[in-house]
Chains A and B, each alone.
Chain A
Amino acid sequence: MNTATVSEDEGHQEHSEHGLSDFGYIKIAVILATLTAAEVATYFFDFGVVEIPSLLILMVVKFQIVVSYFMHLKFDSKVFSYLFVTGLILAMMVFAAMGTSMAFWQNPSGCDASAFC
């Protein structure tokens, strides 16, 4: 049991240290450049109602690729993923709290809280 555990740990360590080859990283960079070009294309061409969803999806995909491959989260310990995702979730909660306060909270004079800006 112990031997198996050690072997798995060693295997994980070797994988986490190596990640992808240099050529693999270059391929990832080409994919990222292509996605960026697609993003910029939305500025020059009218994509109608799908423009904003497309931009958000492209942003999330690029974010995920950089975090997974360049930052090695895909190959590294889950502890790092938990630390980072916790920060991301808290950041989204900050956004939700601010959005809620600006959209729904009103001051006694009847003006909404966003009136100051």
Chain B
Amino acid sequence: MADTAEAETSELAYGPTDWDDHHHLPTNTGLTNEKVTMWAFLGSDCLLFGALISTYLLCRNRVGPATKGPTAADLFDIPFTSVSSFVLLMSSLTMVLAVTSIQRAEMERCKLWLLTTAALGSIFIAGQVYEFTGFYREGLGFTTNISSSAFFTLTGFHGVHVSLGIVMLVTMWVLVTRGNLGPERAETIEIIGLYWHFVDIVWIVIFAVVYLIP
């Protein structure tokens, strides 16, 4: 009891500027604030994608009275998108291997998996750009009809999330390479991994609901 009081007094006395970067401040929950914040963000992001998927489902077969043109569903190339989905799914594996590597202080392996994950994410984005370009050439633009607007908004937002994830992964790779991020801060990589896995599960839903369900 006395030790606890002493520790609390010590924390108050030293203040936040003296905290060691490598050790987290004990919290009421015993969980780090960064990780709780990321999960809260992911929970709120569910709402964003929930709204976008709902909008697409409600408008998927509607082209509107004033505007015509094909719907996105008319132009889907399922085999191509299946390969993209597989690539993104495998990037989740490489991401989790990057996390386990840094937890074991295997820095070279961690760097390799981080780069591999970023590369797989880039392949997915390249596939999405190729798909969007093909749609545009077939006459399906963002403003062609309400179905295309809903489709491009949904998949575009997901693409932006993946792109941000790639930027974060490359940043982590630079930090690890420069020695600014070591095994003692493995949770940073884990938190970036949570974000990456989230974009993967969002795509799992989009792939099934938007692309595969007729």
**Residue with the greatest number of chain A CB neighbours at <10 A, chosen from B79, B89, B200, B204:** B204
By DSSP majority rule, is chain A's interface helix, strand, loop, or mixed?
A: helix
Does B116 lie at the interface of the complex (its beta carbon under 8 Å from any beta carbon of A)?
no
With contacts A83-B43, A87-B47 taken as known, whether A70 is within 8 angstroms of B205 at the C-beta atoms is no
- Residues B54 and A90 in contact, CB atoms below 8 Å apart: no
Size of the A side of the interface (Cβ < 8 Å), in residues, is 49
Measured between beta carbons, the chain A residues less than 8 angstroms from B132 are none
Bound-state Cα–Cα, A43 to B214, Å: 9
- Residues A63 and B58 in contact, CB atoms below 8 Å apart: no
**B81 — nearest CB in chain A belongs to which residue?**
A40
Interface residue from A17, A39, A66 paired with B201 (Cβ < 8 Å) = A66
Cβ < 8 Å to A, chain B residues 18-55: 29-31, 35-36, 39-40, 42-47, 49-51, 53-55
Bound-state Cα–Cα, A67 to B202, Å: 11
Measured between beta carbons, the chain B residues less than 8 angstroms from A29 are 89-90, 92-93
Measured between beta carbons, the chain A residues less than 8 angstroms from B197 are 66-67, 70-71
Cβ < 8 Å to A, chain B residues 49-92: 49-51, 53-55, 57-59, 62, 64, 78-79, 82, 85-86, 89-90, 92
B residues apposed to A, CB below 8 Å: 29-31, 35-36, 39-40, 42-47, 49-51, 53-55, 57-59, 62, 64, 78-79, 82, 85-86, 89-90, 92-93, 95-97, 100, 103, 146-147, 190, 193-194, 197-198, 200-201, 204-205, 207-209, 212-214
A residues apposed to B, CB below 8 Å: 9, 17-19, 22, 25-26, 28-29, 32-33, 36, 39-40, 42-43, 51-52, 55-56, 58-59, 62-63, 66-67, 70-72, 77, 79-80, 83-88, 90-92, 94-95, 98-99, 102, 114, 116-117
